[in-house]
Structure 1
């Protein structure tokens, strides 16, 4: 109870302080605009208080959508963050006022306590309003704004029969974050419209537990490819971020998840491969369990085991969730793997991207290869930006991705 009272006092204190900037910034605006702005400001406060009071009930109520609760919580946190930004700027202005007042008191010409700067108040409100609008827009507009990224890769010694082989890749579905299945159907339609030869899913079907995918099995089960849909696990699929009552329950969760892959018609590759006959040529589709160069993630992958028996294949393609695996093991040790398909980074779901011109995201500070196509010698890596979302229920600048890759022969040889 004491913690809750302190939380309410903190929230109200921040709101009341931030409101002073809003009130001053809108002082000369029409009454209607001020009324709407003030109602919105305090309305968010009322919803936040109600949410905090009811949070425990929502978690206990089995009929409540946990994804919807996380979505509402995210929007309220964005609103609180925006108000906090306003408070920071207002605090700086009040610091200026205090310094001037003290200087005046020590001088022979005291002017009293200066008034707040309307300009500074306007700056404070603007600096708080811009991220609020941007992040909320990313939730309401961008989280299901599926974008098709196309790449053509030229491979040395690719058999002519495989020229134009079309592969669609998706990654990081994170089904536990979804609140509605209908928007997902648009993404599936975009995939099937490509009429791909192969479809690859490169991990993180769920956030934590296998049953998160159950409401969407029929939707993702509609994905079609001429020669099959292949998949691997990602770091979130193993249940490592859940406190399980027993090791057996954790194993059972992973077993169920593997079964859900099968029910959707996906061929799950767990340190194994499939030799697919495509137009008379053998194509090895290799899948490893999660393998990361970072000590923060478990290493379940065994590429030597996964690639065993693929030496006679005309083309070797690898599905590996974490892109750091490529430079750590694939490039130095497995030169015969032509293209590696990864995901994992989401492009941090935040950044600036102008296709063909400019691309930036905080993800670049964590991963050397964080989105798009990379090359080392005759080997290629493609990092998918992700189909879903995690944590922040939206995307700003880095949109959910469906990758279409076409392979071509190097005609120069």
Structure 2
């Protein structure tokens, strides 16, 4: 049976609905809208859970019911075809806010249900009913998982507990589907952003690289000598290498930002990687003391890991304290199956109240108007890189005496 269904704005079915009932309707509609399952064919996962509900309770009929402001919508059913009915005809709506299990052994004898069209034979002749609430992670009741029979019967507590477990799984599936859609949308937006940034960066990078190479070739042709010439040639070589690494990094980050981007895993010498980063950032690190303790070789994508380290060192340089010389320390130790790497500095620190959100998009470590605020995407990129490598990342700071950013990568 095909059907179309639309979630409408909140207009209480009962004219005398209280403010609490209006608030419940509003919260429930918002949750159901976010899940975006209304009017869609049942997913295999939800259909499987409907079958499981019938199986664990030994019932011939089951349904995953969502109750909106005006209708009851069935996500998946067993034993009959999913349909939409008016909210006033819904069996689940009668006990929607009842916590835990609801059991009615003979609905024809219960005054709450005896005149319902699904009980009195008008649309069906249901006699037995049992259900468990569907409650979101935010505590919003969006419907019930129900099992039925056309004959009066009983059910034991073990089967009701099993029904509760299946109901929780229904909400888990809805949440997982929502998160996947949000992630797909985020990746699509990031991919578009990365494409634009990549295009904008590659043009000047190509120009810079070609200019540097021409200067280097000209010096070679003229066979200039002397200390000054050697220093200029050395600087040109460094600049060419840096521009080439940056161009490669832009390409790799673009690949990672797209949905289908894959890590190019290889053995990465973190010691050499950090040395390259420090060399490229020598201007930003003027007058800074940098201590690099022995670092391991890890398995990962070299371009992404370089982006990670460069962002952390750049942040340390950017947020140096005005009253003390900058000190940075990079070190690592193996902890079980993980390499624990830290980048510590004695800079301005990260405000304590911002630390739990510091790896989110657009969140900065310092207040607006401080003159130090960046774009708020550097640490978000660090988190994405670490998570792509199946690792974790965190921050330690008292908000005044510097910051330690740590990340762990699998050995």
TM-score of the two chains, using structure 1 as the length reference: 0.25
Tell me: higher relative CO, structure 1 or 2? Use CA pairs within 8 A at least 6 residues apart.
1
